Amino acid sequence: MSSPGSRTTVIALLADRGYRLTAPRRQILDVLLASGTPLSAAGIHRRLENRRINLASVYRTIWVLLGLEALRATDAIGGEKRFELADPLGAHHHHLICQDCGRIEDLEGCPLEERVLRAVNRRVRRSRRFRIVEHELRLIGACADCDGAGRRTRARRRP
């Protein structure tokens, strides 16, 4: 297997583009592979084995991986930026985001069927002149832990 999100593929991609495989990059990649949810730069940094790796290097690696299209940026709640390894090929998925705790879960696959997408495309194309390339769907609500009692665990951040 060698989807864009696989360890070997990303490593090959780095070499291919003249990037070097350094310890920080390997560790950051491993953190991303191990995480089941998108992580912020600080989140990645916090999970690194070697705590001597600088936060600046995390940012630089994020930037490199985005350039390789091996990483995908997803806006969490409140504009917080998080990152996750890209899906294989032209695949994509969307997220369930908890309003209260900020937790992000994957929604496997895309619920927008061909039919819907085509309809939107037609509608848009007719009125405005706009070519849709991709889309992003965020389902916002309450996760299992936060539902039930309205015990808002994390105060909603300022805008």
- Chain residues in the site for a copy of itself (CB under 8 A): 62-63, 66, 73, 75, 79, 81, 83, 96, 98-99, 105, 107, 111-113, 116, 119-120, 123-124, 128-144, 147, 158-159
Q: How far is CA 2 from CA 9, 73, 105, in A?
A: 6, 21, 23
Beta carbons within 10 angstroms of residue 24's beta carbon: 16
Binding span for Zn ion by CB under 5 A among 15-23, 80-88, 107-115, 146-154? 107-115
With beta carbons less than 8 A apart as the criterion, state whether 57 and 24 touch.
yes
Q: Which residues contact 148 (CB under 8 A, 6 or more apart)?
A: none
Q: What is the largest CA-CA distance in the chain?
A: 55
Site for Mn ion in 78-97 (CB under 5 A): 84
Residue 75 binds to Mn ion (criterion: CB under 5 A)? no
Residue 96 binds to Zn ion (criterion: CB under 5 A)? no
Q: How far is CA 110 from CA 56, 69, 103, 105, in A?
A: 34, 20, 19, 14
When binding is defined by CB under 5 A, the residue of 41, 110, 142, 143 that contacts Zn ion is 110
By CB atoms closer than 10 A (0-12, 13-18, 19+), residue 68 is middle
When binding is defined by CB under 5 A, the residue of 106, 110, 143, 154 that contacts Mn ion is 106
Query: If contact means CB under 5 to 8 A according to the sort of partner, which of Zn ion, DNA, Mn ion, none does residue 106 touch?
Result: Mn ion
Binding span for Zn ion by CB under 5 A among 6-14, 78-86, 104-112, 116-124? 104-112
Using CB under 7 A, list all residues that contact DNA.
15, 18-25, 40-42, 50, 52-57, 59-63, 81, 158-159
